[in-house]
Structure 1
Amino acid sequence: MKLIILGASAGGGFPQWNCNCRNCAGLRDGSVRAKPRTQSSICVSADDGRDWALLNASPDILQQIKATPELQPNRALRDTGIGGILLVDGQIDHATGLFMLREQKSKMPLWCAEPVYEDLTTGNPVLRVLEHYCGVEHHDLPLDGSAFNMPKVAGLEFSVLPLSSKAAPYSPHREASVDGDNVGVSITDKCSGRKLFYAPGLGARTAEVHARMVEADCVMVDGTFWTDDEMIVAGLSTKTARDIGHLPQSGPGGMMDWLDELPKHVRKILIHINNTNPILDENSPQRAELTRRSIEVAEDGTRITI
């Protein structure tokens, strides 16, 4: 299985356009050793790299396609390497990039859970707007763990697992989440049997999620915040990481401790990294701690073979 990290940042990107935190200011003036990142999205393929599944469509999708020859037209006058799109949630940083793909010739093949489809046709009616352009061929995600395929992405098998996290702020489920508001995705290469578990929004540890992570060869999971009170300390919010559906990396029961429990062969990567997170500073003690624990920090453009 081939994987390309199209974007590694949380909503707003890094540096965030209106943010003057230590990381953003330091990246701009060169005082912090860090790399810019666009908003989080990945693509995966099992064949010769001609047909790809896009997981999340960030507002930066056009910039990401320009940086990724595999997704660019190369077979016809109008063409794309994207054979199917899967949304893990309805958040703006994962869904509004669909607008940028409106010129395609046929209906957009889209997989998302029913609560996300509801949100994207009501509170943020992206999919209603697309009906005036290419239209959408919607496929509901089975939340019982059963496997499914994308017809135009050969060789891969998908299954999803509802996660404990938060729906988008415009969702009626924001303060009372329902199954399907946010999912983790297991992707299996049907030829090699190798597995990826992808969960950029992960708010709490559960036995079911742990089981998916243990059976994977690579896990790419929520790297939004280093501490639970990160945004509060920075003076940017009154809410903790857990309040908005993200498990912090540090502290008792944090993501680092959880990842430490995985088998040694599992590759561990953090994605959806907020601009305030000190792990973006490559010289920080927090980054050194991740390196000590063999936990990677996702970067735009990284290509991985699983």
Structure 2
Amino acid sequence: MLLTDAEADHVGGLAALRGSTGLKVYATPPVRAVLAPVRAGLDRYAPWEWADSLADGGFVLAGGLVVTAHPLAAKVPAYVPARTAADAPWVTAYRVEDLVTGRVLLYAPCVGAWSPALDDLCASADCVLLDGTHFDASATGTAARAAAGWTATGHLPVSGPGGSLAALARHPGRRRVYTHLDDTNPLLDPDSPARAQIAAQQVEVLPDGSEFVV
């Protein structure tokens, strides 16, 4: 299991897997630390192995997939005390490479701001799964956050001159897919102008249950 962050709705499913044997969970040091009480409780059902996702050289999954984690942001979950270091690698993207085919999948579901490092990751990937949470900064409930610096610590909007769609345009020739969509996002409607806008740049939104072959 690969954790990208410690947000409550991203780690809550761990409880549903309690009692499962042989699980190994990869996460960054701050994520593992803040989940220490949860880990202790889960270990009472069946002990899991918790590993550092940022270990040098990455790690290998069954089937020969080589995974490396790349820090994206320092977005501290709201339930974490404010005294917790805000500059720690709370959010990471995962780069998954198949050494047999040489193909690469990039998974980045929580992007607060675009960076040169993210450009480099996209340039090295054959398929990019990217945060598409909000279509624009005026989406329901986000205007106030934007005024308070929301895009620096939350989710980068898809549209707009500084949005992720403009950034993805720098990486043609790769399969580009939006994931992690908010339930108010117009991209969920296949007939919406928003969906047409990203389709014009050959960026996709896929149905639940889609599988990727690297």
Question: Do both share a fold (TM > 0.5)?
Answer: yes
> How big is the shift at 1:275?
0.7
CA, structure 1 residues 281+176, in 2 after alignment: closer, same or farther (shift >3 Å)?
Answer: farther
TM-superposition CA deviations, 1:54-108 (whole Å, max 9, x none): xxxxxxxxxxxxxxxxxxxxxxxxxxxxxxx1101011222111111112234x3
Q: How many residues align?
A: 211
How far 1:244 sits from its partner (Å)?
Answer: 4.8
Cα distance in 1, alignment partners of residues 130 and 82 from structure 2: 23
Give the equivalent residue in structure 1 for 2:54. Answer: 142
Equivalent residue, structure 1, for 2:165: 256
1:157 to 36, 60, 66: 66
- The 1:174/1:253 distance shift into structure 2, 3 A limit, reads farther
**Corresponding residue SS for 2:177:** strand
Is residue 2:144 matched to residue 1:238?
Answer: yes
- Tell me if structure 1 keeps the 8 A contact 2:74–2:88: no
Q: Is the 8 A contact 1:96 1:126 kept in 2?
A: no
Shift of residue 174 of structure 1? 8.7
Q: Judging changes above 3 Å, is the alpha-carbon distance between structure 1 residues 133 and 140 closer, same or farther for their aligned structure 2 residues?
A: same
What is the percentage of aligned positions where both structures have the same residue? 33
Match of 1:286 in 2: 194
Q: Given the alignment of the two structures, is residue 101 of structure 1 paired with residue 9 of structure 2, yes or no?
A: no
Q: Return the letter of the residue paired with 1:239.
A: R
| Residue identity in the other structure for 1:95 | V
Q: CA 1:294–1:175 in structure 2 vs 1: closer, same or farther (change >3 Å)? A: farther
Q: For residues 192 and 125 of structure 2, what CA distance do their matches in structure 1 show?
A: 29
Secondary structure at the counterpart of residue 105 of structure 1 = coil
Q: Which amino acid aligns with 1:111?
A: Y
1:62 aligns with: none
Q: How does 1:1-306 map to 2 (within 5 A)?
A: 85-106=1-22, 108-121=23-36, 125-142=37-54, 146-150=57-61, 153-164=62-73, 166-172=75-81, 177-232=86-141, 238-240=144-146, 241-242=150-151, 244-262=153-171, 264-306=172-214
The amino acid of 1:112's aligned partner reads: A
Provide structure 1 residue ranges, at least 5 long, that are not aligned to the other structure: 1-84
TM-score, length basis structure 1: 0.65
Contact 2:95 2:106 (8 Å CA) reproduced: yes
Task: Quote the Cα distance in structure 1 between the aligned partners of 2:80 and 2:92.
Answer: 15
Compared CA separation, residues 214 and 174, structure 1 to 2 (3 A):
farther
2: CA distance, partners of 1:147 / 1:217: 19
- With 125-134 and 171-180 compared, the bigger mean Cα shift is at 171-180
Equivalent residue, structure 2, for 1:68: none
CA distance in 1, matches of 2:130, 2:113: 12
Question: AA paired with 2:17?
Answer: L
Secondary structure at 2:66's aligned position in 1? Answer: strand
After superposition, the C-alpha distances for 1:178-198 in whole angstroms (9 at most, x for unaligned) are 332000110000111100110
- When normalised by structure 2's length, the TM-score is 0.91
Runs of 4+ in 1 over 6 A off after TM superposition: none
Structure number with higher relative contact order (C-alpha < 8 Å, ≥ 6 residues apart)? 1
| Partner amino acid, structure 1, of 2:102 | G
| Paired residue type of 2:59 | F
8 Å CA contact retained: 1:218, 1:266: yes
